[in-house]
Structure 1
Amino acid sequence: MPSWSNTPKGTMAAAVLTNPGQADPSDCFTYVTDYPKPSLPSEDWVLIRVRAAGLNRAELRARNVEHVSPLEFGMFIDEFHTDAPKVMGEEYVGEVEEAGSSSGFKKGEVVCGWAYGGGKPYDGAYAEYTIAHKKRCWRLPDTAREIPWEVLGAVPMGLWTAYGAIFSAGETKPGSTVLVHGGTSSVGIWAILVAKDKGCTVIATTRQASKVKRLKDAGADHVILEEDIQKSLDEVYRIAPKGVNTVVEIVGINHLKKVSMPALAVHGTCVLMGVLDKGWALPEFDSTYIPITRKLTTYTTMEEDYEPSTRVLAETMEKIRSGVYKPEVFLDKAFHLKDIGKAHQYMEDNKAVGKIVVTV
């Protein structure tokens, strides 16, 4: 019996994945108001009234019946399976509706978390309610109530993935030079924001000229329009003659040899944590991909340390309230859950700079 099994109680609204793999994303989903409402699997879990859910590329892959990595299951890796749940959506913000006695939460608290809905173990956040294990749910400060739900929905996963990649996996020091390869993604925008907040010099890349200004508005010191790989690398070295201290590789593993590793300074680190190009593996790999005195590491959200992430989330809420982080920079567009297909199409068309959110 899976650890998340529960007996539904009542019904709720949800966007159900009824026809995966259809060419039009709207044909993949059916919005219903009588989907089974989950209950607590055990006293370690909480039931969340979802207010907003952030979209992630993993959900596009799940909708299209594409590759799912066991690592995406995080703490539930032993329950790995390749099929998508009926209700996707792997991150949320909302309020605790019911808290297990050993969860450490209480009814009414504002929380966020990773619901593992993009091809993950159980039903996710494209619904009025979802469940979360206490280790996958984060309490937000009371002041978060002053921030609109759609803005809060654009924060959790992108923020912590970027912060963890740069400062945990990358061990980046304040004042370093950081290359964000894939800057217009939600993680890319947050990488720019958190790196600049620590006094780093940020170089960001994009393949679309129309998005250059948005990256500069986010705080990137330099934006490279990536039309030719070698010219882009030459531009990196024009800006940072000795190379950069940290590369945040969001585009994919196929760019390690051509871009990420060559761009590093001596003792620099490349953090591989994205597959925007859907490349999960290289046909061949040898140690020459990693130059002498450079490092390659990976980062996934299953590696977060609970206490630092709680602190960073709280600090970020205050920075949003005070105007340090402006919503128009990291939130691209909000849709209603009824229009989840349109939201998926918008993401699939690569129109966004930052996060796409659905409100519930």
Structure 2
Amino acid sequence: MPSWDNVPKGTMCAVTLTSPGSSPPAACFTYKTDYPRPSLPSPKFCLVRIHAVGLNRAELRARNAEPVSPVEFGIFKDEFHNQCPLIIGEEFVGEVSEAGSETGFKVGDRVAGWAYGGGKAYDGSYAQYTICHHRRLWKLGDAAKEVGWDVLGAIPMGLWTAYGALFLAAETEPSDVVFIHGATSSVGLWGVLVAKEKGCYVIASTRQESKVQKLKAAGADWVVLESELQDPQVIMKIAAKDVNTVLELVGLEALGPISMPVTTRGGTVVKCGILGKVWQMPVGAGVVTAMRKLTTFTTLDEDYDEAGRVLAGAVEKVRSGIYKKEAFLDSVFELKDVGAAHQRMEDCAACGKVVLLVL
């Protein structure tokens, strides 16, 4: 675990990963009320009282203690290790409880933070408290005082990943046609919301007919069922003009048969989702051609200041009703019920973000 000293201060409630890979998901976790509460390892960290946790697909992999890459440690790559932390969880919203002198935060700030992958350098967010480096922590702005913690918990990583993929990695323009493959995930629904707000024509896909209406309500101009995508020409016929950007959320296995063929010459496919849980692809698969650009966007790539502006702006738009919580928040569970929340993700029953409330 971390190379720095971190002497606990008191105790807290937390969910620990005690039996990785067990079935059902609830069997993997143990809810504890006396887990050691962390202390600040350096003046660059804050201690945050967590109020809500947004769940991510990568945590299904973490729950099974599957291998991770050093790149997933981000700014903590020098701390890389194969051991999964006892507490998993990639993102959170809450209030600063203690602020290091070099962080620029103060006690009481409402914040969002995140760390990556299944083998982070320190314990994650399935707990009442966590430490967070100031470069992975953002103020949510005054509007956050008027938005519930459950709703705030459904915003951070899904929003930033979608926004960054579409407008930083792909450089999508307001008049472009965007195809979001796997649009009922949290990132997918945020992709629909931000793309429509920018003036894009959005085509979204889902495997389940029961989720079509939610995508339309979020603003998708056209929703196509996965069963219709056996022929990529379906997307080309739907689009009023060429598809400029594909946000590929299903995974690597979809690049060759779907994402690349539907993208116009000179267009961009951004791969940033693993809904299909295929984490590797054979080298030389031949899906990238000179006519189309393939890029990968992860939240490791964030511009700190831009991420802060996007997050605070989204919270204000939620407060003012521009973004409706019904569009991106799927369901809310208490921390102790994390097994049921994971089961909902595992079953692909969710349409948007699954959130844990930390009471």
Class of the TM-score when normalised by the shorter of the 2 chains: over 0.9
**Cα distance, 1:323 vs structure 2:** 0.7
**Cα shift at 1:2:** 3.1
Residues 43-89 of structure 1: CA distance to partner in whole angstroms, max 9, x if unpaired? 00000000000001111111112242323211112222233211111
Query: Aligned runs of 1:255-274 on 2, under 5 Å?
Result: 255-274=254-273
Letter in 1 for 2:355: V
Per the alignment, residue 282 of structure 2 pairs with: 283
In structure 2, the CA distance between the partners of 1:4 and 1:188, relative to structure 1 (3 Å rule), is farther
Counterpart of 2:7 in structure 1 is 7
2:154 match: secondary structure: coil
Q: Give the alignment of 1:157-196 within 5 angstroms.
A: 157-196=157-196
Q: State whether residues 50 and 93 of structure 2, in contact with CA within 8 Å, keep that contact through their aligned partners in structure 1.
A: yes
Map 1:288-299 to 2 at 5 A: 288-299=286-297
SS of the residue corresponding to residue 130 of structure 1 reads strand
Q: 1:323 and 2:354 equivalent?
A: no
2-structure distance, mates of 1:117, 1:48: 20
Measured at CA, do residues 47 and 4 of structure 1 come closer, stay the same or move farther in structure 2, by a change above 3 Å? Answer: farther
Give the equivalent residue in structure 2 for 1:19.
19
Equivalent residue of 1:289, what SS? Answer: coil
Q: Which amino acid aligns with 1:343?
A: A
Q: Report the secondary structure of 2:261's partner residue.
A: coil
Q: State the partner residue of 2:356.
A: 358
Q: CA–CA distance in 2 between the matches of 1:91 and 1:294?
A: 32
Cα distance in 1, alignment partners of residues 204 and 345 from structure 2:
20
**How many residue pairs get matched?**
358
Matched-pair contact (CA < 8 Å) for 1:117–1:123: no
Aligned to 1:252: 251
Task: Kindly indicate whether residue 57 of structure 2 is the aligned counterpart of residue 57 of structure 1.
Answer: yes
What are the superposed Cα offsets for residues 288-344 of structure 1, whole Å, 9 maximum, x if unpaired?
522333111111111000111111111111110111100011000000001011111
CA contact (8 A) 2:65 2:118 kept: no
Q: How does 1:43-82 map to 2 (within 5 A)?
A: 43-82=43-82
Give the match for residue 214 of structure 2.
214
User: Where does residue 120 of structure 1 map in the other structure?
Assistant: 120
Shift, 1:5, TM fit: 4.2
Mapping 1:96-135, distance limit 5 Å: 96-116=96-116, 118-135=118-135
In structure 2, what residue type is equivalent to 1:120? K
In 1, distance between residues paired with 2:245 and 2:116? 28
The more displaced of 111-120 and 161-170 is: 111-120
Hey, what's the Cα distance between the residues in 2 that align with 1:279 and 1:27? 24
- Structure 1 residue 242 displacement after superposition: 5.0
Task: Give 1:4 deviation, angstroms.
Answer: 5.3
- Displacement of 1:189 in angstroms is 0.5
Deviations 1:193-246, CA, capped at 9 Å, x for gaps: 010010000111111111111111111111110115433x12101112653100
Which residue number in structure 2 is paired with residue 304 of structure 1? 302
1:36 aligns with 2:63: no
Assess if the C-alpha contact under 8 Å between 1:93 and 1:110 holds in 2: yes
Deviation at 1:19, TM superposition (A): 1.2
After alignment, is 295-304 or 67-76 more displaced?
67-76
Q: Which residue of 1 aligns with 2:235?
A: 236
Contact 1:115/1:130, CA 8 A, preserved across alignment: no
Q: Separation in 1 of the partners of 2:116 and 2:292?
A: 33
Instruction: Check conservation: 2:228, 2:234, Cα contact below 8 A.
Output: no
Q: Which amino acid aligns with 1:325?
A: Y
User: Aligned-pair RMSD on alpha carbons?
Assistant: 1.5
Contact 1:59 1:119 (8 Å CA) reproduced: no
Q: 5+ residue gaps in structure 1?
A: none
| Deviant stretches of 4+, over 4 Å | none
| Shift in Å, 1:283 | 1.9
Q: TM-score, normalised by structure 1?
A: 0.96
Cα distance in 1 between the residues matched to 2:115 and 2:255: 30
CA contact (8 A) 1:242 1:265 kept: no
Structure 2 residue identity aligned to 1:235: V
- Mean Cα displacement is larger for which, 275-284 or 183-192? 275-284
Q: Match of 1:272, as an amino acid?
A: K
SS of the residue aligned with 1:203? strand
